[in-house]
Amino acid sequence: MIEVLRAGALTTVQDQGRPGWAHLGVPRSGALDPAALRLANRLVGNDKHAAGLEITMTGCALRFTRAVAVALTGAPADVLVEWSPPVHPPTRAATPHTVGPAAPRDATRRPGDVGRALSLPAGAVLRVGPARAGVRTWLAVSGGITVEPVLGSRSTDTLSGLGPPPLRDGDRLPLGTPDGPPPPVDVAVTRPVPDALRLSVRPGPRQDWFTPEALDLLCRDAYTVSPDSNRVGARLAGAALPRAVAGELPSEGLVLGAVQVPPSGQPLVFLADHPTTGGYPVIGVVDDVTALAQARPGTTVTFHGPQR
């Protein structure tokens, strides 16, 4: 088991998501950076679909009731492993007048690194500090986290409530049986967190609901990530995108990366926990939203069309 000593701001169970259920109103969900979680699983010898933890901003603290291998990927953070050596039973000294337990020994501490597999003894505590850059760190544990799957996935969907709820202090998470020893990898090269993002966007299904200049404006001006962003979507602040058609649409399908524009004119890029339908027009679709997983509030975002 994993015992949650400190859950942090938002720590959720995630795997590669539950694709194929959009017709029932269920989004894919899953890790916001699926490749980062796959890498962490590879470092500890798990199948790529094994569930791990997505840790947001403030870190967490976990105790493991058995010996495990763990690996962290994603946002850089300070990592500390703590454990206490086993206490030996009382021993009798040479004279009968001094009998008692062995002298207590302090807990052992050693640092760890994001991007390296770590071996933890039973009873060890893993402390993950706040992200030094970016937003999210992914944790894999040998054997994977084996909470009950829902529609084929163990992922927490923060919009619909499917899957396990976000972690709370005192929670206990079951672990599966390790598949085998981790691969002999010394270190994994992780991508640095950029200070600014440049995203490729293609015209969306409702481009005609905007003025001819709107898509050019989206690709010309810089936007910043709003503090209101979450796993559902990245809200952006910047130039308002002018509409050519007033009124609202009947709800229609949405996909990962859809750039929806509410009446404020400020674009919203949908992420893993996005709704599957919506009534605001979609001006474009971002090809790859992975970089937004590490975009802190205030991060600069620019868009470019596929022809540029």
Instruction: Spell out a b/e string for 36-59, using b for 16 or more CB atoms within 10 Å of the CB, else e.
Output: bbbbbbbbbbbeebbbbbbbbbbb
Domain ranges, residue 229 = 196-304
In this prediction, residue 218 has a pLDDT band, given cuts at 50, 70 and 90, of very high
Residue 100 has pLDDT above 50, yes or no: no
| Residues 6 or more apart in contact with residue 99 via CB below 8 angstroms | 90, 92, 93
pTM of structure: 0.89
CATH number at residue 263: 2.40.100.10
Give the 3-state secondary structure of residue 290.
Answer: helix
- In degrees, rounded to 5, the angle at the alpha carbon of residue 69 between the alpha carbons of residues 68 and 73 is 135
Q: Across residues 269-281, what is the average pLDDT?
A: 94
In this prediction, residue 308 has a pLDDT band, given cuts at 50, 70 and 90, of very low
> Quick one: pLDDT at residue 109?
87
Same domain, yes or no: 152 and 268: no
Q: What is the domain count for the chain?
A: 2
Same domain, yes or no: 168 and 200: no
> Quick one: pLDDT at residue 246?
84
Beta bridge partners of 90: none
CA–CA dist 95, 113 (Å, integer): 48
Q: Are strands 300-304 and 196-203 parallel, antiparallel or unpaired?
A: parallel
Q: What single letter denotes the amino acid at residue 156?
A: T
Residue 147 has pLDDT above 50, yes or no: yes
Same domain, yes or no: 134 and 213: no
